[in-house]
């Protein structure tokens, strides 16, 4: 494997992926890159970009045991959104519908705050 071609892309599961895409646009300035809609109207696959990071997402697939944090009641992954203006980015995410988990404050590692998005994903804005 050539190191220059290695890339890890998070693949989120959301209960309401179409609504999640709209939230990420409002909260983080995401750009939608692609979307595949299933016959039942759910999203089978979508790609978005936030800054220089790509993320993929889809609706839940219970038959494959692909479930959202909202369904599972928690998550094991957090996302870090690094920005030059933590306070403005945090406020934007909250105004878009994010729930404050930890308000912005100066931490030993820098200024940061934590938001849970409406779909159960945890975001550290720093």
The pLDDT assigned to 78 comes to 95
Element (H, E) at 80: strand 78-81
9-125: in CATH 3.10.180.10: yes
Residue 38: both structure tokens together: 């299933």
| Three-state DSSP state, 98 | coil
Statement: residue 1 has pLDDT above 80: no
What mean pLDDT comes out for the span 31-47?
Answer: 98
What percent of the chain shows pLDDT beyond 70? 98
Q: What's the rounded Cα separation, in Å, for the pair 49 and 108?
A: 29
The strand pair at 11-14 and 99-107 is best described as unpaired
107 vs 116: CA distance, rounded Å = 19
pLDDT of residue 2: 61
Give residue 44's pLDDT band: very low, low, confident or very high (50, 70, 90). very high
- Tokens 């209960």, located at residue: 15
d(CA 4, CA 87): 34
* Confidence (pLDDT) at 4: 76
pLDDT, mean of residues 74-85: 94
The predicted pLDDT at position 104 comes to 99
Q: Is the pLDDT of residue 38 over 90?
A: yes
Domain boundaries, the chain: 9-125
- Please calculate the CA angle 54-55-59 and round it to the nearest 5 degrees: 155
Mean pLDDT for all residues in the chain: 95
Percent of all residues in the chain with a pLDDT value above 90, rounded to a whole number: 92
């Amino acid at each position: 494997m050539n190191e220059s071609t290695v890339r890890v892309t998070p693949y989120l599961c959301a209960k309401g992926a179409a609504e999640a895409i709209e939230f990420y646009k409002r909260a983080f300035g995401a750009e939608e890159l692609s979307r595949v809609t299933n016959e039942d109207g759910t999203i089978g696959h979508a790609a978005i970009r936030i800054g220089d990071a790509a993320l993929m997402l889809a609706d839940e697939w219970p038959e494959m045991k692909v479930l959202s944090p909202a369904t599972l009641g928690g998550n094991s992954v957090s996302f870090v959104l690094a920005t030059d203006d933590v306070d403005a980015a945090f406020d934007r995410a909250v105004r878009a519908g994010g729930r404050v988990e930890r308000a912005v404050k100066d931490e030993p590692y820098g200024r940061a705050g934590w938001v849970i998005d409406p779909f159960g994903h945890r975001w550290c804005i720093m």
